[in-house]
């Protein structure tokens, strides 16, 4: 408890400022490389699609973000289950990182999907199964973040979030099924968010570099977000040590035997 006094040990290498490390730098550089490839091929080099025309370039962004979002949510689900089993801070921090990153990517996915719809259908929103599912799931995980934001002691907050993480993830396939059937009654499946087989070589290259870039960015964000959450916990523990000191000091000025402030309502026992 009291071992958290700041003591700069000059012998060891200085600890990094912020949440970066050699590993994240390598990861970030690789992600950047694929991002450049994705921009070059996705926006400039690859031709327009035979079916989708230039809107395929939106798909190059849409697919990686939706994949990253699902990966993030699956990590949240796994971490939630692991937290309820192991009860360690690691799984809690990993789960909350996943929810936040997943919400980010899902929101982007939905905006991209709406822009694709504007070009393809002339309207931003049609009740396309994938977009609809995404919208429902997005709000579900916004609820997770809302609960996360409520101040509570770390264990309570972690349990609440783990429960929501589990309850939410089992809903994903059910929402998928329900929405697919529902829309299946009215229209055929659209190609939004799919890699269809007659994509050409440079198109596939653009798609895969965007996909790899998206997943690498997701991983890079995970590491940084996790470490930021870890630092936030340590910072609040420092506050706890101080609060404990203050709490103990409350008792010292008053003499223990002082009984001036008693408030006995009844008379003395006879």
Partner 1 sequence: MTKPRGMFDDALLMARKDLQLERRAKIGLGQVLPFAILVLLLFAFALDPDRGVLKQATPGLFWVTVLFSAVLTLQRSFGLESEDGILEALRLTGMSPAGIYLGKVTALTLELLLLEAVLAVGVAVLYDTHFIGIPLLLVIAFTATLGIAGAGAVYGALAARLRSRETLLPLLLLPLLAPVLIAATRGCEVSLQREAMSGWPWAALLGIFALVYLTLGSFLFRPLLEDA
Partner 2 sequence: MSALVHLRSAVALIGRFPALAGVDLDVYPGEILLLQGPNGAGKTTLLGVCAGLIGLTSGQAVVLGEDLTANPRAVRRRVGLLGHDSFLYQDLSVVENLDFWSRAAAATVQDGRAALERLGVSSRLFDLPVYSLSAGQRRRVSFAAMICRRPELWLLDEPHAGLDSSGRDLVDGLMAEASASGATVLFASHELDRAEHIAHRSVTISGGVIIADSPRATELGSEP
Partner 3 sequence: MTETLCIVGAWVVTFGSVGSYAAVVILRGRRLSQTVPPEQRRWM
* Binding residues vs partner 1 (CB under 8 A): 84, 136-137, 139-140, 142-143, 146-147, 150, 155-156, 159-160, 162-164, 166-168, 170-171, 174-175, 177-179, 181-182, 185
Taking Cα atoms as reference points, which of 88, 106, 95 lies closest to residue 166?
95
Q: What is the rounded CA–CA span in Å between residue 194 and residue 80?
A: 29
The residue (of 154 and 184) whose beta carbon lies closer to partner 2 is: 154
**Is residue 32 a contact residue for partner 3 (CB under 8 A)?**
no
For partner 1, the closer of residues 137 and 211 by Cβ is 137
Q: Which long-range contacts (CB under 8 A, 24 or more apart) does 194-202 make?
A: 195/63, 196/51, 198/50, 198/51, 199/49, 200/46, 200/47, 202/41, 202/45, 202/46, 202/47
* Rounded CA separation 249/253 (Å): 8
User: Which does residue 7 touch among partner 1, partner 2, partner 3, none (CB within 5 to 8 A, set by kind)?
Assistant: partner 3
Q: Is 248 in the site for partner 2 (CB under 8 A)?
A: yes
Cβ 41 to partner 3 shortest distance, Å: 13
148 scored as a contact of partner 3 (CB under 8 A): no
Closest CB 148 distance from partner 1, rounded Å: 12
Asked if 252 is part of the footprint of partner 2 (rule: CB under 8 A), the reply reads yes
Segment interacting with partner 3 (CB under 8 A) among 59-67, 130-138, 156-164, 172-180: 59-67
Is position 227 an interface residue for partner 3 (rule: CB under 8 A)? Answer: yes
Window 1-40: contact mask with partner 2 (x via CB under 8 A): x---------------------------------------
Residues 6+ apart with CB under 8 A from 229: 93, 96, 97
Among partner 2, partner 3, partner 1, none, partner that 11 touches (CB below 5 to 8 angstroms by kind)? none
Q: How far apart are CA 209 and CA 30, in angstroms?
A: 11
Residues forming the site for partner 2 (CB under 8 A) = 1, 151-153, 155, 236, 239-240, 243-244, 247-252, 254, 256-257, 259, 261-269
Residues forming the site for partner 3 (CB under 8 A) = 4-9, 14-21, 23-24, 39, 42-43, 53-55, 57-58, 61-62, 65, 101, 104-105, 107-108, 111-112, 115-116, 118-119, 217, 220-221, 224-225, 227-228, 230-232, 234-235, 238
């Amino acid at each position: 408890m009291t071992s958290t006094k700041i003591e700069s040990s000059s012998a060891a290498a200085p600890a990094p400022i912020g949440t970066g490390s050699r590993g994240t730098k390598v990861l970030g550089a690789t992600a950047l490389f694929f991002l450049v490839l994705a921009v070059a091929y996705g926006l400039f080099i690859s031709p327009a699609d035979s079916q989708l025309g230039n809107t395929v370039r939106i798909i190059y962004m849409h697919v990686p973000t939706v994949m990253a979002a699902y990966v993030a949510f699956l990590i949240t689900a796994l971490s939630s289950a692991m937290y309820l089993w192991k009860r360690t801070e690691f799984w809690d921090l990993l789960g909350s990182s996943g929810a936040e990153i997943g919400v980010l990517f899902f929101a982007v996915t939905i905006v991209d999907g709406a822009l694709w719809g504007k070009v393809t259908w002339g309207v931003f929103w049609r009740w396309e199964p994938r977009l609809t599912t995404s919208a429902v799931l997005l709000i579900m995980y916004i609820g997770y973040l809302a609960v996360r934001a409520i101040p509570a002691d770390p264990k309570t907050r972690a349990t609440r979030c783990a429960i929501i993480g589990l309850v939410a993830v089992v809903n994903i396939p059910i929402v998928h099924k329900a929405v697919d059937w529902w829309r299946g009654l009215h229209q055929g499946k659209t190609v939004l968010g799919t890699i269809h087989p007659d994509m050409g070589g440079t198109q596939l290259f653009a798609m895969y570099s965007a996909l790899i870039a998206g997943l690498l960015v997701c991983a890079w964000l995970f590491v940084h977000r996790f470490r930021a959450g870890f630092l936030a916990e340590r910072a609040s523990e420092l506050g706890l040590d101080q609060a404990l000191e203050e709490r103990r000091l409350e008792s010292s000025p008053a003499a223990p035997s002082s009984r001036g402030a008693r408030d006995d309502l009844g008379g003395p026992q006879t």
